[in-house]
């Protein structure tokens, strides 16, 4: 009898975990269940509002850097595939007020939509659904060998988890029309590697718009767009990237607010027993979800082995 696994959550962490599972357990029955799916827009569903690039902020010389290293190598491999994957390499101009070490970048563009399509192509079932507790989940899937909890901020209130170490870091972006002359690089400016006043300009390919951001506000649960902040973001981004032109001439396609799933003590990648069931937690990467995604997915699947230690 083949193994059965349930992934709770369909952000970039949940989707990459499902694909890592499929690669390692090709005969397994894998189901993703989530309230939000790629294409949805909600502040609590962070992935659509992400800058969605690889720009490592890890400084621990440990597991965070390893997650980012693994993800970088995976993105590098994906960037050699067709444009449908939505991953490509692009130069970046990074400006810091204090000196830091070098960092590499890959933009992931429309990668999340590709992840969903790839999961379905590989026989992974994706369902829309909501569970308020682990009890409810295992009642619905009693034969599951393990559940991968990839709910991000949802772990704050999910009964059976209720992790009060997790908190939102509010971000705000806008997607604007691409300049007539396609942008050939990304831009990033911050007083330090991670700062609340970080400014970034991330083209989504030559003609798919440009993401402008941003802000980092810890413990702010508001999902409302701040239009005054949006004007400030325009000013900062146009000063950083002259190719954008004048702030007043930008054509805004949409504004977005995302609540990054930050966590005191860092991301949780941990194996836990819930009654007779196995739960593997994989959440809390904050704003590093994209650049750590494949590394965290590997770590989560490694934890299926009883003797795994992280």
User: Is 151 labelled a binding residue?
Assistant: yes
Beta strand segments in the chain, E = 4-8, 29-34, 53-55, 88-89, 92-96, 105-107, 125-128, 146-149, 166-176, 186-190, 199-203, 210-213, 217-218, 252-263, 268-274, 277-283
Q: For strand 53-55 and strand 210-213, is the pairing parallel, antiparallel, or unpaired?
A: unpaired
User: Is 181 labelled a binding residue?
Assistant: no
User: Is 263 labelled a binding residue?
Assistant: no
Which of 174, 189, 190, 196 is CA-nearest to residue 247? 174
Angle subtended at Cα 39 by Cα 210 and Cα 245, rounded to the nearest 5 degrees: 10
Helices 289-302, 63-78: axis angle to 10 degrees equals: 110
Is the backbone of residue 52 left (phi > 0), alpha (psi -120 to 50) or beta?
A: left
Contact indicator for 82, 205 with CB cutoff of 8 Å? no
User: Is 260 labelled a binding residue?
Assistant: yes
Binding-site residue positions: 46-47, 151, 200, 260, 287
Binding-site residue positions for D-dopa: 200, 260, 287
Binding-site residue positions for FAD: 46-47, 151
């Amino acid at each position: 009898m083949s193994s059965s696994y349930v992934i709770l959550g369909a952000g970039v962490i949940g989707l990459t975990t499902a694909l890592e599972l499929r690669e390692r357990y090709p005969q397994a029955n894998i189901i993703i269940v989530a309230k939000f799916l790629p294409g949805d827009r909600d502040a609590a569903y962070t992935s659509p509002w992400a800058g969605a690039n690889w720009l490592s902020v890890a400084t621990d010389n440990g597991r965070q850097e390893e997650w980012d290293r693994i993800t970088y190598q995976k993105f590098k491999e994906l960037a050699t595939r067709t444009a449908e994957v939505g991953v490509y390499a692009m130069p970046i101009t990074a400006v810091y007020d204090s000196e830091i070490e070098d960092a590499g970048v890959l933009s992931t563009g429309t990668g999340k939509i590709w992840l969903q399509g790839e999961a379905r192509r590989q026989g992974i079932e994706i369902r829309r659904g909501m569970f308020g507790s682990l009890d409810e989940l295992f009642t619905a899937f009693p034969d599951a060998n393990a559940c991968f909890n990839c709910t991000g901020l949802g772990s704050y209130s999910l009964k059976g988890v209720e992790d009060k170490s997790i908190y939102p870091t509010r971000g705000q972006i806008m997607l604007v029309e691409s300049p007539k002359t396609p942008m050939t690089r990304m831009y990033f400016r911050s007083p330090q590697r991670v700062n609340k006043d970080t400014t970034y300009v991330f083209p989504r390919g030559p003609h798919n718009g440009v993401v402008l951001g941003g802000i980092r506000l810890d413990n702010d649960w508001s999902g409302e767009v701040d239009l005054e902040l949006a004007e400030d973001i325009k000013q900062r981004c146009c000063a950083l990237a002259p190719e954008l032109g004048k702030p007043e001439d930008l054509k805004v396609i949409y504004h977005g607010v995302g609540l990054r799933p930050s966590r005191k003590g860092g991301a949780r990648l941990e194996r836990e027993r819930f009654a007779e069931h196995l739960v593997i937690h994989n959440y809390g990467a904050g704003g590093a979800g994209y650049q750590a995604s494949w590394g965290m997915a590997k770590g989560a699947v490694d934890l299926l082995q009883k003797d795994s230690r992280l």
